Homo-oligomer: A and B are copies of this chain.
Amino acid sequence: MIREVVHVTVLPEHNADFERDLQRAVTEILSQAHGLIAFSGIGWCIERPNVYLFTIDWETLEDHTIGFRESELFTKWREIIGVHFDGPPTVEHFSL
Protein backbone atom coordinates (compact mmCIF):
# COMPACT_ATOMS: atom_id res chain seq x y z
CA MET A 1 0.00 0.00 0.00
CA ILE A 2 1.08 3.53 -0.84
CA ARG A 3 -0.20 6.67 0.85
CA GLU A 4 -0.43 9.76 -1.38
CA VAL A 5 -0.14 12.90 0.76
CA VAL A 6 -1.46 16.08 -0.83
CA HIS A 7 -1.09 19.69 0.31
CA VAL A 8 -3.42 22.08 -1.52
CA THR A 9 -3.43 25.86 -1.17
CA VAL A 10 -6.87 27.22 -2.03
CA LEU A 11 -7.75 30.67 -3.29
CA PRO A 12 -8.90 33.24 -0.71
CA GLU A 13 -12.50 32.67 0.37
CA HIS A 14 -12.73 29.40 -1.53
CA ASN A 15 -12.54 27.24 1.62
CA ALA A 16 -16.19 26.27 1.85
CA ASP A 17 -16.53 25.70 -1.90
CA PHE A 18 -13.34 23.64 -2.00
CA GLU A 19 -14.49 21.46 0.89
CA ARG A 20 -17.84 20.86 -0.78
CA ASP A 21 -16.35 20.13 -4.22
CA LEU A 22 -13.60 17.91 -2.85
CA GLN A 23 -16.22 15.74 -1.18
CA ARG A 24 -18.20 15.65 -4.41
CA ALA A 25 -15.12 14.74 -6.48
CA VAL A 26 -14.28 11.91 -4.08
CA THR A 27 -17.80 10.50 -4.23
CA GLU A 28 -18.38 10.91 -7.96
CA ILE A 29 -14.91 10.45 -9.49
CA LEU A 30 -12.17 9.15 -7.20
CA SER A 31 -14.36 6.32 -5.97
CA GLN A 32 -14.21 4.81 -9.47
CA ALA A 33 -10.40 4.69 -9.63
CA HIS A 34 -8.71 1.30 -9.94
CA GLY A 35 -6.52 0.46 -6.95
CA LEU A 36 -8.11 2.98 -4.63
CA ILE A 37 -8.12 1.84 -1.01
CA ALA A 38 -9.24 4.91 0.95
CA PHE A 39 -9.52 8.69 0.93
CA SER A 40 -8.99 10.67 4.12
CA GLY A 41 -9.65 14.40 4.30
CA ILE A 42 -7.38 15.45 7.09
CA GLY A 43 -8.37 19.10 7.29
CA TRP A 44 -7.08 22.65 7.14
CA CYS A 45 -3.81 23.92 8.49
CA ILE A 46 -3.95 26.06 11.63
CA GLU A 47 -0.76 27.95 10.70
CA ARG A 48 -1.93 28.52 7.08
CA PRO A 49 -5.74 28.35 6.90
CA ASN A 50 -5.78 28.26 3.10
CA VAL A 51 -3.78 25.03 3.10
CA TYR A 52 -5.51 21.66 3.18
CA LEU A 53 -4.04 18.23 3.65
CA PHE A 54 -5.64 15.04 2.48
CA THR A 55 -4.40 11.53 1.87
CA ILE A 56 -5.31 8.83 -0.62
CA ASP A 57 -4.27 5.22 -0.13
CA TRP A 58 -3.55 3.17 -3.25
CA GLU A 59 -2.71 -0.49 -3.74
CA THR A 60 0.40 0.45 -5.77
CA LEU A 61 2.26 3.64 -6.72
CA GLU A 62 1.36 3.05 -10.37
CA ASP A 63 -2.35 2.91 -9.56
CA HIS A 64 -1.98 6.61 -8.80
CA THR A 65 0.81 7.85 -11.06
CA ILE A 66 -0.26 5.98 -14.20
CA GLY A 67 -3.67 4.38 -13.73
CA PHE A 68 -5.39 7.43 -12.26
CA ARG A 69 -3.34 10.36 -13.49
CA GLU A 70 -3.44 9.27 -17.12
CA SER A 71 -7.17 8.54 -17.08
CA GLU A 72 -10.26 10.51 -17.98
CA LEU A 73 -11.19 10.34 -14.30
CA PHE A 74 -8.22 12.56 -13.42
CA THR A 75 -9.32 15.19 -15.92
CA LYS A 76 -12.77 15.28 -14.33
CA TRP A 77 -11.28 15.25 -10.79
CA ARG A 78 -9.17 18.30 -11.57
CA GLU A 79 -12.06 20.06 -13.32
CA ILE A 80 -14.09 19.86 -10.13
CA ILE A 81 -11.47 20.81 -7.54
CA GLY A 82 -8.72 22.54 -9.56
CA VAL A 83 -10.76 25.74 -9.91
CA HIS A 84 -10.10 26.41 -6.23
CA PHE A 85 -6.32 25.82 -6.32
CA ASP A 86 -3.95 28.73 -5.68
CA GLY A 87 -1.01 27.14 -7.50
CA PRO A 88 -0.15 23.49 -8.05
CA PRO A 89 -0.63 21.09 -5.13
CA THR A 90 2.30 19.32 -3.48
CA VAL A 91 2.09 15.56 -3.81
CA GLU A 92 4.29 13.00 -2.05
CA HIS A 93 4.02 9.23 -1.77
CA PHE A 94 4.80 7.33 1.40
CA SER A 95 5.50 3.67 1.90
CA LEU A 96 3.91 2.51 5.13
Give chain A's interface residues, CB within 8 Å of chain B.
2-3, 5, 42-48, 51, 53, 61, 92-96
Contacts and interface: CB of A to CB of B under 8 A. Distances in A.
Contact of A46 (B45, B47, B61): B61
Given A3-B42, A47-B93, 10 more contacts: A2-B46, A3-B43, A43-B95, A43-B96, A44-B95, A46-B92, A46-B94, A47-B92, A48-B92, A53-B92
A48 B43 CA distance: 24
A58 to B, nearest CB: 11
Contacts of A92: 45-48, 51, 53
15 contacts: A3-B42, A3-B43, A42-B94, A42-B96, A43-B94, A43-B95, A44-B94, A44-B95, A46-B93, A46-B94, A47-B92, A47-B93, A48-B92, A51-B92, A53-B94
User: How many identical chains are in the complex?
Assistant: 2
A86 B2 CA distance: 24
